[in-house]
Amino acid sequence: MLNAGLEQRVESRTADLERANAEIQRFVQIISHDLRAPLVSIVGFTGELQESLGSLRWLVDRSGNGADDSELQEARTAVTELLPEAIGYIRASTDKMERLIGAVLKLAREGRRPLKVESIDLKEIVTGAAGAIQHQLSEADGKVDIEMDVATIQSDRFSIEMIVGNLLDNAVKYREQDRPLRIEVRTRAIADDRIEIEIADNGRGIAERDQARVFDLFKRSGTPDRPGDGIGLAYVLAVLHNLGGNISLTSELGRGTSFRLTMPRALRATENLAA
């Protein structure tokens, strides 16, 4: 009877997950088609406006100086300043919308991507990620210290590379400008055959009021004086969930941030935990 009850609960849970996945796929279809279609139209018509603007400017220029003609001066201001500025704002907004749509689709696809489990040298992953940002590290007089109590895990290489790369990029992007950047990457074994990866920096830190939302999609902390759309940490969280992991942080404004990632030390080859 206990086994039968367990099977019923598993079947019910599986059906719930299938319905949830179907709803997610429907949402992705809406984003990829129904939102992108008008966006393509906006981009196209903006290009036509840009071309027409050249003809208008030519016509205004042919009308002479007209220093005492206020209407002509307004027309000249419109074609040389106001309309180009407006078109620039439209294009910047459509570019941002395209990036945001792409980010949502990327998150949705990550949950469906089959995991390829293999033996991974964590020091090799971290060293490679640090090498990819070596130019920015040099500019910040930066250094990455690596301490590996757990050197090898069984997991999905692409996922681990994306996670580490995103967090190191963030450490460089949000560094404190008046001191050399220091990043520490440590690993250790924890309970239930899991590992913890800690990536800590001495950057500008995250205010306490922002710490609960930095993993939300399109949310950013502090002054928005760095490029980005608030996608990186949301992506890290989604990828970690796909590996059966999680992430937390501790931070002090002006002193730095420490991200702690936990995940299975050995991911099963058949496991895709976000599916």
pLDDT at 166 over 80: yes
Q: How confident is the model at residue 270 (pLDDT cuts 50, 70, 90)?
A: very low
Check residue 255 and give its pLDDT: 92
Total number of domains in the chain:
2
Does the pLDDT value for residue 187 go beyond 60? yes
* Banded model confidence at residue 224, pLDDT cuts 50, 70, 90: low
For residue 34, is it within any domain? yes
Q: Are 144 and 168 in contact (CB under 8 A)?
A: yes
- Tell the burial category of 75 from Cβ atoms under 10 Å away from its Cβ (0-12, 13-18, 19+): middle
Print the domain residue range for 83. 2-112
Sequence-distant (6+) residues with CB within 8 A of 46 are 87, 90, 91, 94
Specify the pLDDT at position 155.
94
Instruction: Please state the φ and ψ torsions of residue 100, each to the nearest 5 degrees.
Output: -65, -40
Domain ends where: 94, 112, 130? 112
250 pLDDT above the threshold of 90: yes
Same domain membership, residue 82 and residue 179: no
Q: Which of 111-125, 171-185, 222-236, 256-270 has the highest mean pLDDT?
A: 171-185
Residues 95, 139 within the same domain: no
Rounded to a whole number, what is the distance in angstroms from the first to the last CA of the chain?
A: 29
Give the residue ranges of DSSP H helices in the chain.
Answer: 2-29, 36-62, 70-77, 83-112, 122-132, 134-139, 157-173, 232-242
pLDDT in tens, 52-98: 888 888 887 777 665 557 777 888 888 888 888 888 888 888 887 78
Q: What percent of the chain has pLDDT over 90?
A: 31
pLDDT, tens only, 40-54: 888 888 888 888 888
Tens of pLDDT, residue by residue over 106-165, are 666 665 667 889 999 999 999 999 988 888 888 889 999 999 999 999 999 989 998 999
Q: Which of the residue ranges 107-121, 167-181, 199-213 would you say has the lowest mean pLDDT?
A: 107-121
Q: How far is the C-alpha of 200 from the C-alpha of 146, rounded, in Å? A: 11
125, 260: one domain: yes
Mean pLDDT (whole number) for 207-236:
73
Rounded CA-CA distance 22/18 in Å is 6
Please report which confidence band the pLDDT of residue 274 belongs to, taking 50, 70 and 90 as the band edges: very low
Q: Which residue has the tokens 């071309």?
A: 51
**What's phi and psi for 219, nearest 5 deg?**
-100, 135
Same domain, 124 and 248: yes
The position carrying tokens 């598993």 is 10
What pTM was estimated for this model as a whole? 0.65
Indicate whether 165 and 57 sit together in one domain: no
Tell me the CATH number at 202.
3.30.565.10
Of 81, 112, 143, the one marking the end of a domain is 112
User: Do 256 and 133 reside in the same domain of the chain?
Assistant: yes
Q: Does residue 271 fall inside a structural domain?
A: no
Quote the distance between the C-alpha of residue 269 and its chain's center.
27
Tens of pLDDT, residues 1-18: 777 676 777 677 666 656
In whole angstroms, give the CA distance from residue 111 to residue 242.
6
User: Once rounded to an integer, what is the mean pLDDT over residues 186-202?
Assistant: 95
Contact at 8 Å (CB) between 253 and 205? yes
Q: Is the pLDDT of residue 271 over 80?
A: no
Residue pair 243/159 in contact by the 8 Å Cβ criterion: yes
pLDDT confidence tier of residue 216, bands split at 50, 70 and 90: confident
